Amino acid sequence: MSYGFMNIASTPSVRTAQAAMGADHLWEDFRGHRDFDRFTENEAAFIAERDSFYMATVSETGWPYVQHRGGPRGFLKLVDERTLAFADYRGNRQYISTGNLTADGRACLFLMDYARRARLKIYARVEQVALDADPALTELVTVPDYKAKLERIFRVRLEAFDWNCPQHITPRFTEEEVTEAVRPLRDRVVSLEAEVAGLRARLAATAGGART
């Protein structure tokens, strides 16, 4: 039986922790196949809606580093069923993730949908690609009118992914989501204000006619 993500995650120390907490049987007795080594239409749609994600890397000294990556919605591109890519824009110029990935190309990505309390976690190997090395890939990840300096491309080769349960995810909403959610209320307020203004105008006209 296979559980692709946990096959990678379950190191000896992890299995020891599971045994100590009485959870080892959940994975030892797992029945089924959860290879999840290819993105389906479900993952493709989820990825296309993201405007940010978190990426964890590890340095040569063993220290982990988690970086928030953000951009326009859909900036993380699906290249094929086992490959993602995204533009690396200039930031604070610390280049910690860039350096870590030069030493060890393994990474873990967390993609969050707080509004729907969903999260997709991805084990991958990340390759740095120069802008002039693959013109087609550069064109794919370039977002028109996004005013940020593109320095390189990260190509993400999938090893395994899995979905987490929604437990303990606090719903949060983007400005765009809030704007869309309250649009019907704003439209109704505008309609009611117009209706009130009309009633006041008619009332004023009636009162004026009565005085004459």
Same domain, yes or no: 16 and 43: no
pLDDT given at position 154? 97
Per-residue pLDDT tens over the stretch 51-70: 999 999 999 999 999 999 99
pTM across the whole model: 0.83
Give the CA diameter of the chain.
95
In terms of domains, do 113 and 181 share one? no
State both tokens at 98.
Answer: 């860039």
Question: What are the CA-CA distances from residue 93 to residues 59, 70, 97, 103, 149 (Å)?
Answer: 17, 15, 11, 18, 12
Same domain, 92 and 42: yes
Same domain, 73 and 106: yes
Q: Is the pLDDT of residue 74 over 90?
A: yes
Same domain? For 22 and 120 the reply is no
- Asked whether residue 1 falls in the same domain as residue 65, the answer is no
Tell me: do 89 and 153 sit in the same domain. Answer: yes
CA distance 14 to 28: 13
Q: How many domains does the chain have?
A: 3
Range of the domain at 22: 1-34
pLDDT in tens, 1-54: 567 888 888 888 988 998 999 988 877 766 666 778 899 999 999 999 999 999
For 184-203, write each residue's pLDDT tens digit: 999 999 999 999 999 999 98
pLDDT value at residue 33:
65
